[in-house]
Amino acid sequence: MPDFAELASVSRLGKFNMGFGRSYSFVTAGVALLVAVSVARSWAAAEDTKQLDSRLLNIEQCNGSDHKTPESQIAGCTALINGPHETALVLAVAYNNRGNAYSATGDYDRAIADYDLAIKFNPAYEKPFNNRGIAYQKKGDYDRAIEDFDQAIKLDADYGLAFANRAQTYQKKSNFVRAAQDYDAAIRLEPKLEAIWNGRCWVRAILGQLQAALEDCNTALLLKSDDAAAYDSRGLIHLKMGEFASAIDDYTAALRIDPKLASSFYGRGLARIKKGDVAAGNSDLAAAKGLEANVADLFSHYGVAR
């Protein structure tokens, strides 16, 4: 499941709106909604054309609008941060976006430092709280991550992506009941995001709520038919239901999309063994362990053992 980090956008318009990583992953490249921040007309009027063109290029890079590398986004945001005449609101967005770019490179400490500055320049800005929570989650500091998601939700009670990220963090803490509650809220607020349905499917499967979990996975696959994680989740449900042929079909579909998904190899191996195809099952189990050494322990944690 992807991490739902949120990019903000520095706009050339003269308005400002407040608004937007299984550890299949809820990573910094998530769903982004555009938030406009002010470009002061008096400042723009004082610029010559070359300076203005340069600044607009920095804005495009900092927004990630050029769809290039995180390094390009870092460069654009840094140029805005170091430039003259920027308002606190612009700086908050620039630090937030640069934090996302650092997070995309795996440099979570620098990302957190930038989110800290974004919050300093605009303490009412919910996005850097959400994004900093993801960075803390990636570092394994789940309690601090939850504190940040709590604050993001306090600032915006309809922040569906923060609920989804908090759900995943509770999931990582094996607090599946709280995770399911947060997925309920996230789905109410963001019903078209497939990853959230898949997240609740997975948690419900672990909790043994198999029919409800199956309905969630089916919804996830209606929204995105080529999602390996959703097929993998549905495979676990069929495995726990004793529907081994359906489990094999789902795990095979997942592996067709993601040939290195250890959980699908392991689940398919168990299903094949249960159906009597021991040789093929053992081959799948070996492939799974080659990809993820502790995969058997994970399945035991999910309530499924060989």
Which whole number is the average pLDDT over 279-288?
A: 97
Residue 306 has a pLDDT of 78
Residue 302 has a pLDDT of 83
Whether the Cβ atoms of residue 264 and residue 254 lie closer than 8 Å to each other: yes
Domains in the chain and their CATH numbers?
Answer: 1-191 (1.25.40.10), 213-306 (1.25.40.10)
Whether the Cβ atoms of residue 232 and residue 292 lie closer than 8 Å to each other: no
Which whole number is the average pLDDT over 234-239?
A: 97
* pLDDT 10s digits, 73-118: 999 999 989 988 788 999 999 999 999 999 999 999 999 999 999 9
pTM of the model: 0.83
Q: Among 7-21, 101-115, 292-306, which stretch is predicted with the lowest mean pLDDT? A: 7-21
Give me the residue label for tokens 């850097």. 128
For residue 14, pLDDT over 80 is answered with no
* pLDDT 10s digits, 34-56: 333 334 344 444 456 666 667 77
84-to-76, 87, 91, 149, 150 alpha-carbon distances in Å: 14, 9, 11, 33, 34
Whether the Cβ atoms of residue 269 and residue 284 lie closer than 8 Å to each other: yes
The stretches of the chain forming alpha helices (DSSP H) are: 41-46, 49-63, 70-82, 88-104, 108-121, 126-138, 142-155, 160-172, 176-189, 194-207, 210-223, 228-241, 244-257, 262-274, 278-291, 295-301
Which whole number is the average pLDDT over 244-266?
A: 97
Taking Cα atoms as reference points, which of 93, 66, 65 lies closest to residue 77?
Answer: 93
Taking Cα atoms as reference points, which of 227, 221, 293, 219 lies closest to residue 263?
Answer: 293
Please tell me which of 20-24, 40-44, 77-81, 140-144 the model is most confident about, judged by mean pLDDT. 140-144
